[in-house]
Amino acid sequence: MFIRIFWYDPSLSTIPIDNFVAPVCLEKIGILFEDEFLLAINKPSGLLSLSGKNPLNKDSVHYRLAQQYSDIRLTHRLDLGTSGIMLLAKNKEINAHLTKQFQARSVIKRYVSILAGELQDSEGLIDLPIAKDKLLFPRLKICHQDGKSAQSHFQVSARLNQPVATEVMFTPLTGRTHQLRIHSQAIGHPIIGCDLYGTEATQKMALRLMLHAFDITFDHPNSQQRMTLSSPCPF
């Protein structure tokens, strides 16, 4: 479980400062696929995707891999608590090619998650706009007036007991920050283990965020072949 501490800069009055320091992550990054153009890795839960501004948050996926791959570039990110597959480019040109695919929304990502409580529907689309919450940084919020469009498709994989929970497969149709976490909260079923959008009870139900990037489908930047890479779910 990760705990964030906030303090207020008097000169900024109402803007809170995130003083969060990530705990040490001892798990190693797993290599799922590699060729001369790209790298697909399994990110452990508890490891930052990119080093933070705070020097105590230097350890990250990018920092570790840059020791071996001098021009490695993140094509997307996963939240600290999220585990699973990440796609990285080995040079600027490959990164640009993959970035265009993300922008065109031709990349398909799927996530396994365990939500608190029992979802009534076996499948559905969550279509709720997301905006920054200036008073509760780094949290975001659902806002129909100023929020950016965000859609998440879900399909129930299993219904669990003791405690009552629901395993779902998420397919985000957009890529907003915290999208799956805040969408789950918005429908009344927060992701178990979520420190930002869960209740005190649902946070204590797991030692980690129960969200895993299961697979990713994209066009290979050199061969143009459509390919899917996956990472087995650890929970």
- Which residues have a catalytic role annotated? 79
Chain position carrying tokens 């859609």: 151
DSSP 8-state class, residue 148: B
Q: Are 81 and 92 in contact (CB under 8 A)?
A: no
Single out the residue of 97, 108, 62 nearest to residue 216, CA to CA. 108
Separation of alpha carbons 222 and 110, rounded Å: 23
Chain position carrying tokens 């143009």: 224
Chain position carrying tokens 């100023």: 146
**Tokens read off for 50:** 């990119």
Separation of alpha carbons 21 and 18, rounded Å: 9
SS (H, E, C) 76-123: CCCCCCCEEEEEEECCHHHHHHHHHHHHCCCCEEEEEEEEECCCCCCE
